[in-house]
């Protein structure tokens, strides 16, 4: 990030102008399906909609570009539920942090071309949920959408592969979620997304675990390799594009979120 920082200091200054100036660099790292002009407009729109984000980007444009480079490499839309842009303070200094959302993980699974559908859901105390491995191919989950569903008690995720087979089903209870949360620095902070958007974090934890068992790709693929339709087959030797950008079980934020 230091090279980006030094280069930015020699260029101009407003974050929107920085994004425009660095479109060629974004194009170099972006997944092939990313339209850089559209990508840049989404990023600029996110800045305009959030004054705190714009302020952090103004004071630390290198952090903004680092986040955008990650989003571009993953092929995810910045400033959306695929890839959040959030202002934080790290050691008292404002910066922009990119956070992969659960919808971004689902997008990466679809991009790999092996799954025809992906299901990621939370379970609440008053829901009916039944899943016995070896007996049920998929969870049976009945919800009263218009009643009081109660507190969060678990989450699950699975993919239906192109040939109709079901991937490994990931089922997480409160303890699993609590262990994932415990590994997130600042999870109990006032502005942590574990507090501001707890359900999304439960969904993300389940989706991230599913990513261990089904292929994920930053590049959209049309051809499907036959072996990828095997139920429960791990993603294989290929590194997940999330490994560096979103380490498993690590929280999405390591600082204080600016409200």
| Tens of pLDDT, residues 117-138 | 999 999 999 999 999 998 999 9
Q: Do residues 207 and 105 lie in contact, with contact meaning Cβ atoms separated by under 8 Å?
A: yes
Do both 9 and 71 map to the same domain?
yes
Do both 15 and 89 map to the same domain?
yes
Q: Do residues 96 and 8 lie in contact, with contact meaning Cβ atoms separated by under 8 Å?
A: no
Structural domain range at position 169: 102-247
Do both 214 and 109 map to the same domain?
yes
Q: What is the pLDDT, as a whole number, of residue 41?
A: 95
Do both 168 and 68 map to the same domain?
no
Number of domains in the chain: 2
Q: Is residue 154 part of a domain?
A: yes
Do both 83 and 109 map to the same domain?
no
- Would you say residue 192 has pLDDT above 80? no
Q: DSSP letter at 28?
A: H
pLDDT band (50, 70, 90) for residue 238: low
| Tens of pLDDT, residues 142-163 | 999 999 999 999 999 999 999 9
Cα separation, 229 vs 226, in Å, equals 6
Cα separation, 121 vs 158, in Å, equals 9
Query: Span 57-79, mean pLDDT?
Result: 95
| Tens of pLDDT, residues 80-94 | 989 989 888 888 888
Do both 185 and 234 map to the same domain?
yes
Q: Is residue 28 part of a domain?
A: yes
Query: Span 62-68, mean pLDDT?
Result: 95
- Would you say residue 234 has pLDDT above 60? no
Which residue among 100, 125, 153 closes a domain? 100
Q: Which helix (H) or strand (E) holds 234?
A: none
Do both 59 and 138 map to the same domain?
no
Q: Going by C-beta distance under 8 Å and a sequence separation of 6 or more, which residues neighbour residue 131?
A: 138, 139, 140, 156, 169, 171
């Amino acid at each position: 990030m230091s090279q980006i920082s030094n280069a930015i200091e020699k260029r101009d200054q407003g974050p929107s102008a920085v994004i425009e100036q660095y479109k060629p660099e974004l194009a170099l790292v972006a997944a092939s399906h990313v339209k850089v002009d559209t990508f840049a407009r989404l990023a600029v729109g996110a800045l305009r909609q959030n004054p705190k984000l714009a302020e952090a980007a103004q004071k630390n444009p290198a952090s903004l570009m680092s986040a955008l480079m990650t989003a571009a490499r993953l092929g995810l839309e910045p400033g959306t539920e695929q890839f959040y842009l959030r202002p934080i303070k790290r050691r008292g200094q404002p910066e922009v942090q990119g956070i992969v959302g659960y919808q971004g993980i689902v997008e990466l699974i679809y991009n790999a071309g092996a799954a025809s559908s992906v299901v990621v859901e939370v379970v609440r105390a008053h829901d009916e949920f039944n899943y016995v491995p070896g007996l049920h191919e998929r969870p049976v989950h009945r919800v009263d959408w218009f009643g009081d569903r109660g507190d969060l008690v678990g989450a699950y995720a699975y993919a239906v592969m192109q040939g109709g087979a079901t991937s490994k089903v990931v089922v997480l209870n409160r303890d699993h979620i609590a262990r994932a949360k415990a590994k997130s620095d600042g999870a109990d902070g006032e502005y942590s997304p574990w507090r501001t958007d707890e359900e999304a974090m439960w969904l993300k934890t389940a989706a991230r675990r599913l990513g261990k068992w089904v292929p994920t790709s930053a590049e959209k693929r049309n051809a499907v390799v036959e072996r990828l339709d095997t139920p429960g087959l791990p993603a294989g030797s290929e590194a997940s594009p999330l490994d560096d950008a979103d380490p498993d079980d690590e929280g999405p934020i390591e600082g204080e979120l600016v409200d």
